[in-house]
């Protein structure tokens, strides 16, 4: 038995009243069988591989690590990320070695291009999971479960100024919203990327005015993007 507790079909929904005790999870020891597991990838379907690779490699500074081309099934995958080269060494030069190397790199993004999507008329063709109408059969907003990926940077405000200068679209600038010192930018397909300060605790470092001209006292409160 894996020891996973599943609710009985007749069990009533649990109301946590906004609080949940996680103390047991902090002290729980992982199963020995999982000690070498790695959180390796998140997959996004993208319309146009060029614009997506331009964003992830040039704007966010990730590396293209490996490519998998599957013409017989009509799709290609591109793995991008920040390989820890001090631990793993440089990305191999030979294509046949790149995939195995990539499978050791934590936190990659797998960009999946279904051939032909680049020719579709709409600028964005996939639902991002954040309460948008893209891809819904009835044109109504979807209550999405997926939220975002996130990267950490030494200086959120400097990074966001760079993103703005490169034409990135902001969902939230560092001083907007209720939580200050973090930001969200959109990739070309509308997926959210959170920008957080490297190695800093909350409350995060702030500046009086951010790249979009929003002051610390400006912006609105928290919004649940799944219901927008």
Q: Which residues are catalytic?
A: 194
How many Cα neighbours within 13 Å face the side chain of 51?
Answer: 15
């Amino acid at each position: 038995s894996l020891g996973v507790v599943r609710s009985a079909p007749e069990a009533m929904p649990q109301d946590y009243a906004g609080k949940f005790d996680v103390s047991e999870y902090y002290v729980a020891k992982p199963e020995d069988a999982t000690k070498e597991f790695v959180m390796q990838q998140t997959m996004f379907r993208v319309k146009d591989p060029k614009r997506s690779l331009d964003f992830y490699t040039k704007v966010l500074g990730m590396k293209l690590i490996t490519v998998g081309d599957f013409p017989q099934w009509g799709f290609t995958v591109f793995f991008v990320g920040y390989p820890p080269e001090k631990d793993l060494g440089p990305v191999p030069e030979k294509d046949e070695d790149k995939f195995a190397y990539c499978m050791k790199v934590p936190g990659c993004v797998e960009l999946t291009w279904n051939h032909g999507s680049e020719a579709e008329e709409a600028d964005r063709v996939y639902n991002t999971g954040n309460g948008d109408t893209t891809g819904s059969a009835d044109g109504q907003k979807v209550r999405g479960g997926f939220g975002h990926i996130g990267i950490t940077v030494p200086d959120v405000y400097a990074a966001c100024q760079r993103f703005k200068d490169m034409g990135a679209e902001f969902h939230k600038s560092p001083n907007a919203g209720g939580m200050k010192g973090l930001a969200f930018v959109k990739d070309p397909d509308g997926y959210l990327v959170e920008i957080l300060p490297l190695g800093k605790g909350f409350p995060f470092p702030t500046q009086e005015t951010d790249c979009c001209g929003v002051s610390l006292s400006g912006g609105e409160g928290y919004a649940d993007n799944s219901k927008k």
